[in-house]
Amino acid sequence: MQPKKIAELLRTLAEDKKAEEPVLLDISKHSSIAHYFLIAHGNSDRHVKSVAMHLIDEMKQRKMPAFHIEGLTEGKWVLLDFGPVIAHIFYHETREFYGLERLWGEAKKI
């Protein structure tokens, strides 16, 4: 599956669990770590974990498991590495504090 399709699928899956303000950033021209970032947030640590687990489970069923997972226990900032797409699922206040959209401001929003 093409990186853009994976990114769009992850955004849809996040929306299925009511993730707030999902944003896709095309970082391919700015970094070699991935093609896209998905950034979204939940309004509680339980919500963040729920969104992250949904992405993990659904992608695993599609034979595209996450290569690396960080932050799932705490539920403040969960990073899911799906190779060409990295999903960042934040607790609302943590997203505001780190401001990845500002940090990657030159990246094109999809």
pLDDT of residue 4 exceeding 90 = yes
| pLDDT tens-place string over residues 16-73 | 999 999 999 999 999 889 999 999 999 999 999 999 999 999 999 999 999 999 999 9
* Pairwise pLDDT comparison (8 vs 110), residue with the higher score: 8
**CA-to-CA distance for 57 and 78, rounded, in angstroms?**
14
Token couple for 4:
């853009």
Own/partner contacts of 60-65, CB < 8 Å, gap of 24 or more, are 62/9, 64/1, 64/6
Report the SS3 class of residue 98. Answer: helix
Give the CATH architecture of domain 18-109.
Answer: 2-Layer Sandwich (3.30)
> Which candidate, 55, 19, 56, places its Cα nearest to that of 40?
19
Q: Binning pLDDT at 50, 70 and 90, where does residue 103 land?
A: confident
More confident residue, 2 or 106: 2
Residues 29-44: tens digit of each pLDDT: 998 899 999 999 999 9
Q: For residue 107, is pLDDT > 90?
A: no
